[in-house]
């Protein structure tokens, strides 16, 4: 099942089910509110609300206001090695906030304070039920589905200190969407094996497969839910593969006017223009 949060002409949002070229209204404002309902799967599958066309639709972040965005660093072997680090024994965690999120076709805002604006395409895990200290089947059942996320990073701010949050949490920098796809519709299910790519102005920068994650989605839910309760609508960004601009020789960073396309096969693509802050 493929779901999304749609922006309406009236300035509100609606949760929808995506059926080929149709969008079926699910009767709630956004997917975060839908996932908060214990019977969300049945409601999403059976709703027969207003129908719109996909063509011309404006998509919001799949979950516009997640309670938590937990990010995982250094989770693909090739990215760990390109950044000159040892393979970790445990996931490397940091946070983002909802203010960072933009829709899959919105502009990404380039802050004037950075000269090292970098891309990171990621598989996002969206939580569909409350879970704490989950193990095995509990962790699997807590995964509502997956989406494409781009963890755009100000590298010069990220590496000012040993903590990364200040490089990762700039407003209006993180596309999320366009779709949330449930595990039953994906190869590998809750451990999906999907191609993941980043293309900047037509040039492929990242190309890998989510099956290469060191810590897979189920392991991440187990680990993170040990620390605190994961709740419906929470998002886990599972890490990026190799090919980031910072690790290139010479390093490459994004500039205003460039177009960035990030895609996880089966989950849809984010296509975003980089714009200078103040012009968005």
pLDDT band, very low/low/confident/very high, at 93 (cuts 50, 70, 90):
very high
Average pLDDT over the chain, rounded to an integer: 95
> Among all chains, which residue has been given the structure tokens 């929808």?
16
CATH of the domain at 116: 3.90.850.10
Does residue 85 or residue 133 have the better pLDDT?
133
Total domains in the chain come to: 1
Is residue 231 in a domain?
yes
Mean pLDDT to the nearest integer, 179-203: 98
- Does any domain span residue 13? no
pLDDT of residue 188: 96
User: What is the predicted pLDDT for the residue at 94?
Assistant: 96
User: If pLDDT is split at 50, 70 and 90, which confidence band does 245 have?
Assistant: very high
Contact (Cβ atoms closer than 8 angstroms) between residue 178 and residue 270: yes
Say if 141 falls within a structural domain.
yes
β-strand pairing of 235-237 with 92-96: unpaired
Interval 97-132: pLDDT, tens: 999 999 999 999 999 999 999 999 999 999 999 999
pLDDT over threshold 60, residue 280: no
- pTM here is 0.95
What does the pLDDT average to over 259-272?
Answer: 98
Q: For the residues of the chain, what is the DSSP string, one character each?
A: -EEEEEEPTTS-EEEEEEETTEEEE-SSSSHHHHHTSTTHHHHHHH----EEESTT-EEPPSSSS-S-EEEEES-BHHHHHHTT-PPPSS-EEEEE-GGGEE-TTSPEEE-TT-S-EE--EEEEEEE-S-BSS--THHHHHHEEEEEEEE--EEHHHHTTSS--HHHH--TT-EEB-S-EE-GGGSTTTTS---EEEEEETTEEEEEEEGGGBSS-HHHHHHHHHHHS-B-TT-EEE----S--GGGSSS-----TT-EEEEEETTTEEEEEEEEETT--
Residue 263 lies in a domain: yes
User: Which of the four pLDDT bands, split at 50, 70 and 90, describes residue 279?
Assistant: low
| Residue 119 in domain | yes
The predicted pLDDT at position 77 comes to 82
In a domain, 203, yes or no: yes
In a domain, 4, yes or no: no
Predicted pLDDT at 278: 81
Give residue 138's domain range.
61-276
Neighbours of 56 (CB within 10 A): 6
pLDDT in tens, 148-168: 999 999 999 999 998 999 999
Q: How many CB atoms lie within 10 A of CB 19?
A: 12
CA dist list (Å): 177 to 63, 78, 270? 8, 25, 7
On whether residue 50 sits in a domain, the answer given is no
Q: Nearest 5 degrees, angle CA 119-CA 125-CA 129? A: 155
The residues with which 137 forms a beta bridge, in sequence order, are none
């Amino acid at each position: 099942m493929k779901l999304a949060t749609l922006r309406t002409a009236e300035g509100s949002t609606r949760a929808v089910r995506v059926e080929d070229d149709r969008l079926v209204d699910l009767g709630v404002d956004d997917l975060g509110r839908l996932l908060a309902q214990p019977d969300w799967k049945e409601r999403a599958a059976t709703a027969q609300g207003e129908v719109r066309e996909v063509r011309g639709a404006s998509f919001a972040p799949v979950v516009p206001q997640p309670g938590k965005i937990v990010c995982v660093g250094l989770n693909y072997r090739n990215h760990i090695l390109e950044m000159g680090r040892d393979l970790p024994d445990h996931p490397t965690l940091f946070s983002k906030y909802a203010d960072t999120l933009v829709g899959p076709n919105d502009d990404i805002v380039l802050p004037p304070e950075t000269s090292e604006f970098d891309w990171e395409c990621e598989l996002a895990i969206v939580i569909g039920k409350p879970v704490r200290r989950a193990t095995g089947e509990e962790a699997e059942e807590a995964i509502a589905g997956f989406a494409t996320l781009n963890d755009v990073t100000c590298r010069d701010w990220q590496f000012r200190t040993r903590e990364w949050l200040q490089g990762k949490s700039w407003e209006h920098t993180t596309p999320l969407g366009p779709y949330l796809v449930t595990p039953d519709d994906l190869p590998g299910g809750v451990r999906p094996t999907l191609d993941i790519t980043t293309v900047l102005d037509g040039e492929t920068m990242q190309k890998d497969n989510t099956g290469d994650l060191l810590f897979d989605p189920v392991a991440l839910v187990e680990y993170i839910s040990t620390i605190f309760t994961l709740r419906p609508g929470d998002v886990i960004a599972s890490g990026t593969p190799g090919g980031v601009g910072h690790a290139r020789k010479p390093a490459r960073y994004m500039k205003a006017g460039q177009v960035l396309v990030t895609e996880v096969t089966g989950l849809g693509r984010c296509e975003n223009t980089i714009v200078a802050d103040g012009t968005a």
